[in-house]
Copies of this chain bind each other. A is one copy, B any other.
């Protein structure tokens, strides 16, 4: 093959950069120049993508010299030797080599495949620290370290058979879990040794990584750190434009369990974004309301540093995504105040379960942020609302959201009562029978009540995407599903269907 032959002809490390790379060659470190020498042939998409990045054009020293609000580098200083050149391949993939078990010898360099938040923290330490305290950084453990949720994973991803009576179960394999829940939550990446491979450069050795690939938000990296900056700041362009657009969040927040993007899409904000964002500036730092954008995206409300046209800060940047939100709307049986800790495996309700509330809805208040903290987080968000909305508007909006949390919790409770009754009457088997609470039809209907319909309704209220609170997995289904659960109980117990 011509291309590979050409690659083979290159002497890596000595190659002179071609015309395409010439304009930026002066600022690229020698190490990175070596990488590019081969990789612009071997993985041209990566190299070109990086060339389109800000990393390829601006050195940390230049970044540090920016006025405070314009700075993207949160470090006070960056290590000597990194400041003067642009941020290229070697700057990230050979950084902290001794801390990365996946480091391998590669053409004279100690390279690691999996760049971790610790590497990014060289220039962006504040973001690393905030994100570490974000529920998302703990997404792997919060799922797989919580016996209730692990039970759900097993029952959803496991293989079932049919033996004429029941459905014998086999637990899911690691590939299936990596390909489903853990695709978003993150896998555990483990270095398993080196393996040889034929390349255009002859035989070379490369790491064998268990759990790879993964760009899940709670990825456990070989260096032990949690999270992947590339989940949202997609490699290798690391474009702030991508992270600020709602399509990034939609990667994991579009399904019936967490329909944030669909709700946004039909909200007034979403409409304006979709209709007008071609004229907005998604690269400006700070991000100026009314000037750079005229309606918020996910990032605007939950993460970005936003200023007025006059240069006053409206909200500070954060990478702890619930800093501006009082209530957890998703991911739990009942919506409660946010948990205090990002590690939710430490939650315990009175029944001893690792949940933020009892099965009957009472919050495990000791583990949750208190009303004062809720008020502060809510107030932060409302400062942003106030850039375009009156106080009356904001209060009216939030009153509906609060009520929506109450009513969806009430409808979840009603469905829980059906389930508890079924367990009592022997129509299904639950915790008392030492059985999974997710493996029977009625239990699945119960899960949909809170995971799909209550979540959808709350998101609709939070963002003003009304049909997701009615016919598109909203209140219509909260009431219909409850009725179906009652009927199922009736059919199962021979009572001929429940009442209404």
A interface vs B, CB < 8 Å? Answer: 2-3, 6, 20, 40-49, 51-52, 113, 155-162, 164-167, 173, 175-176, 178-181, 183-184, 197, 206-209, 212-213, 215, 234, 237, 239, 241-242, 245, 247-248, 250-252, 254-257, 265-268, 270-272, 274-276, 278, 289-291, 294, 308-310, 312-314, 386-393, 396-397, 399-400, 403-404, 407, 410-411, 413-415, 417-418, 421, 427, 429, 439-441, 444, 451-452, 460-461, 464-472, 474-476, 479-480, 482-484, 486-488, 491-494, 496-500
Contacts and interface: CB of A to CB of B under 8 A. Distances in A.
> Which of A197, A208, A471, A488 neighbours the largest number of chain B CB atoms within 10 Å of its CB?
A471
A455 to B, nearest CB: 10
Given A278-B278, A418-B162, A500 B179 contact: no
B49 A271 contact: no
A40 to B, nearest CB: 7
Contacts of A173: 403
A173 to B, nearest CB: 7
B309 A213 contact: no
A239 B275 contact: yes
Q: Indicate how many identical chains form the complex.
A: 3
5 contacts: A6-B310, A45-B290, A49-B290, A215-B268, A239-B276
Given A248-B271, A271-B248, A471-B451, A291 B494 contact: no
A253 to B, nearest CB: 9
Given A255-B470, A310-B6, A480-B441, A500 B166 contact: yes
A435 to B, nearest CB: 8
A179 B461 contact: yes
A43 B48 CA distance: 42
| 9 closest residue pairs by CB, A with B | A48-B290, A166-B499, A183-B466, A45-B388, A255-B467, A255-B472, A3-B312, A45-B387, A175-B403
A444 B480 contact: yes
A245 B276 CA distance: 10
B43 A254 contact: no
A249 to B, nearest CB: 9
A402 B212 CA distance: 15
Nearest to A474: B180
Nearest to A388: B45
A268 B251 contact: yes
B212 A484 contact: no
Contacts of A500: 166-167, 429, 439-440
Contacts of A241: 275-276
Contact of A251 (B176, B239, B267, B487): B267
A286 to B, nearest CB: 13
Nearest to A484: B441
Given A178-B400, A480-B441, A166 B486 contact: yes
A437 to B, nearest CB: 11
Nearest to A259: B472
Interface of A is mostly: helix
A461 B213 CA distance: 12
B181 A470 contact: yes
B256 A176 contact: no
B486 A496 contact: no
Contact of A155 (B164, B167, B479, B488): B479
Contact of A48 (B164, B180, B294, B413): B294
Contacts of A460: 179-180
Contact of A46 (B45, B161, B388, B440): B388
Contacts of A278: 278
B160 A397 contact: no
Contact of A274 (B44, B247, B439): B247
A157 B45 contact: no
A452 B209 CA distance: 33
A498 B165 contact: yes
A260 to B, nearest CB: 12
Contact of A276 (B215, B242, B265, B452): B242
A47 B400 CA distance: 27
B266 A254 contact: yes
Given A234-B272, A250-B266, 16 more contacts: A40-B310, A43-B387, A48-B294, A113-B392, A159-B414, A162-B414, A162-B421, A166-B500, A167-B486, A173-B403, A180-B474, A208-B392, A252-B467, A440-B483, A441-B487, A487-B488
Nearest to A4: B312
A180 B469 contact: yes
A476 B439 CA distance: 11
Contacts of A452: 471
Contact of A162 (B49, B167, B417, B439): B417
A294 B164 CA distance: 51
